[in-house]
Amino acid sequence: MTSVLKNYSVILPLAALVLAFWFSPDLQEVAAGVAIFLFGILMLQDGFKLLSGGNLERLLGAATRSTPRALAFGLVSSTLVQSSSLVSVLTISFLSAGLISLIGGIGIVFGANLGTTTGAWLVAAFGLRVDIADYAMPMVAFAVVLVFQKARPVRGFGYVLAGAGFLFLGIFYMKDGFEAFRDGLDLSRYAMPGIWGLLVYTALGAAATVILQSSHATMVLVITALAAGQISYENAIALAVGANVGTTVTAMIGAVGANVQGKRLAIAHLVFNLVTAAVALILVSPLTALVDVVARVAGVGAEDYALKLAIFHTIFNTLGVILMLPLTGWLVSFLERRLPETKPDVSRPRHLNAAIDDYPETLESALRQEVSHLYDNAVKLVLHGLNLHRETVVDASDLGAAVRESREPIDLDIGDEYERRVKTLYTAIVDFATRATRHRENAPEVVARIDALRDMAGGLVRSVKSVKHIRKNVLRYTTQETGAATELYDALRTEVARVVVAIRDLDSAAPDERSTLWLDQEAARLAASTRKGERRAGALIRQGELDPSAATSFLNDASYAGAAMHELLAAARAYFAEPDRAAAELEGLLALDEDEIGAAAGRGAPGE
């Protein structure tokens, strides 16, 4: 069904263009203008991606610290990239990845709606008055020289310059195209007065924005058509209102693959634009009167409908923000009530979202959260495989006693659970990390950290696989008292539980207080304990309390459990590694290697 729709979404517009060009060759220039304008938007977006480098996440964090900041960020970013739809879709992706809060996201989307009005000003105040093709041509020519440079910021600036040049060129062709219509087709004959005119043209504006995927492009078309006298001022106002409604469709499509937070934001965007559109249509007479007053004060001519439309566009969007901003808190709690957090499906990736593929640092952050999700799943499975509940382990004051009391067999098909909770996530992580390698040239350090996270995920997978081997004997010896074997397996389970608790303690410590060097201490404790366990097993065999078959099983299983614990410790070492390069170097120098840890464990410690 989706592929059929995708095919139609290509074929239908192409067929419509062929038909339109057949009946009206003059339309070719307008269509080419729209295409060049949209191409300019794409180049602007690429340019800003290159210029922002890996700072996007930090920028977003700082931008959403308060609602006014988020509002300003939305305004500036949509002004720069000339696309509120893009800003909204990216905001939904970042919200889904857990990088910003819902209230911060709403602020950005509201601000983006204000930023979208700058497109109308650009065309009305500048595009129609100056022969902007004169500026566009040298801009594009200079930009091409910059685009072929190696330095990333220079290339980024080149794309921005080229994008702006193509925007201007697109406006020029649209304007020129509509001029050609003057002598042929007169669209103004189809203009409709009254309430029906408002509603029909609002719907047309929304439809045009859905097709063009840009309210900016719709506004530019409307203003150039208005300036060429092809549509009436009243109908242009309705088209502008419709463009605001149409832009929400892109965000709604973007939210389809997002989590519940992303969907909440898409609905907030829809509510904001519908309320703003409804208010604008209801108050259309007082608003146009207000536009006349503002135009008079600003010295705009009474007949300059293009500029008056830009003023209207700004006023009604500002009115929307003024109306909706005090209701943001209510809107958030309404959305949280109506769209409750669904019980997360542990087997599906929660943070990996293809929309952030272009932003290496954001990608790293999302991957980090997904690896943490995998760690939770892996540890739960490791503990269940040993017949232990995570709550029992982390809440225990006496871990050994808590383990000895855990005799109830946990109903678990470890093979199935491994496929469901671990392998699916690991596959998604590997796929995501592989896609990130294309940033190796631009962001080598980030890609190196992403590689480390992927390796860490591999270690977690191996830890679960190790426990899969032990499961049978764990069920045999720990669900009932069998004497010496039960004692040994309980000691093994306690060791794994201690490692899990040590990692939990590291996680709950303040980042400035903790160090991965603590894991060396845990590794030394573990090595000493393992040796003690081996000595105890040997003694039990010699005393005849452990039969050779059980002893062999235990020694094999102890080796698997040891591998699982080492993988968990290695994963924690990678996960909690210092993000600062110098600090990471220092910890690397101070860390003990396996031999040194073994020596520390073997020689015993001085008593106090």
Partner 1 sequence: MGLKKLADKVAEYQQRLAAGQAKKIEPELVEHVLDKLRRKEADLLADLASETDDAEREEVEHKLKVAREHIERAEWLQRELA
Q: Which two tokens stand for residue 558?
A: 């102890």
Binding flag, residue 585, partner 1 (CB under 8 A)? yes
In degrees and rounded to multiples of 5, residue 576 shows phi and psi of -95, 10
Q: Based on CB atoms, which residue is closest to partner 1, 173 or 576? A: 576
Binding flag, residue 597, partner 1 (CB under 8 A)? yes
Binding flag, residue 600, partner 1 (CB under 8 A)? yes
Q: Which of 573, 575, 512 is nearest to 372 (CA)?
A: 575
Q: Which two tokens stand for residue 501?
A: 């608790």
Q: Based on CB atoms, which residue is closest to partner 1, 38 or 597? A: 597
Q: Which of 92, 106, 80, 104 is nearest to 160 (CA)?
A: 80
Closest approach, Cβ 587 to partner 1, in A, equals 7
C-alpha–C-alpha distance, residues 318 and 280, integer Å: 11
Q: Based on CB atoms, which residue is closest to partner 1, 319 or 586? A: 586
Q: Which two tokens stand for residue 485?
A: 């074997």
Closest approach, Cβ 359 to partner 1, in A, equals 24
Binding flag, residue 29, partner 1 (CB under 8 A)? no
Q: Based on CB atoms, which residue is closest to partner 1, 46 or 522? A: 522
The DSSP letter of residue 438 is: G
Binding flag, residue 490, partner 1 (CB under 8 A)? no
Q: Based on CB atoms, which residue is closest to partner 1, 343 or 581? A: 581
Q: Based on CB atoms, which residue is closest to partner 1, 390 or 514? A: 514
The C-alpha angle with vertex 278 and arms to 286 and 123, in degrees rounded to 5, equals 70
Q: Based on CB atoms, which residue is closest to partner 1, 352 or 600? A: 600
Binding flag, residue 586, partner 1 (CB under 8 A)? yes
Binding flag, residue 581, partner 1 (CB under 8 A)? yes
Q: Which stretch in 96-104, 134-142, 414-422, 578-586 sits in contact with partner 1 by CB under 8 A?
A: 578-586
C-alpha–C-alpha distance, residues 418 and 486, integer Å: 26
C-alpha–C-alpha distance, residues 280 and 435, integer Å: 45
Tell me the CA end-to-end span of the chain in Å, nearest whole number.
Answer: 74
Closest approach, Cβ 502 to partner 1, in A, equals 10
Q: Based on CB atoms, which residue is closest to partner 1, 328 or 521? A: 521
Binding flag, residue 587, partner 1 (CB under 8 A)? yes
Closest approach, Cβ 240 to partner 1, in A, equals 53
Q: How many CA atoms lie within 13 A of 404 on its CB side?
A: 9
Binding flag, residue 589, partner 1 (CB under 8 A)? yes
Report which secondary-structure segment, H or E, holds 208. helix 194-212
Q: Which of 519, 497, 498 is nearest to 509 (CA)?
A: 519
Q: Which two tokens stand for residue 512?
A: 């400035």
Please report, as residue ranges, which positions from 504 to 543 form the binding site for partner 1 (by CB under 8 A): 513, 515, 517-518, 520-522, 524-525, 528-529
Binding flag, residue 46, partner 1 (CB under 8 A)? no
Binding flag, residue 608, partner 1 (CB under 8 A)? yes
Binding flag, residue 599, partner 1 (CB under 8 A)? yes
Binding-site size, partner 1 (CB under 8 A): 33
Closest approach, Cβ 53 to partner 1, in A, equals 18
Q: Which of 560, 535, 540, 559 is nearest to 550 (CA)?
A: 540
Residues 6+ apart with CB under 8 A from 50: 152, 153, 155, 156, 159
Closest approach, Cβ 252 to partner 1, in A, equals 45
Q: Are 332 and 70 in contact (CB under 8 A)?
A: no
Binding flag, residue 588, partner 1 (CB under 8 A)? yes
Handedness of CA 415, 419, 422, 426 (dihedral sign): positive
Binding flag, residue 579, partner 1 (CB under 8 A)? no
List interacting residues with partner 1 (CB under 8 A).
513, 515, 517-518, 520-522, 524-525, 528-529, 581-583, 585-590, 592-593, 596-597, 599-601, 603-608
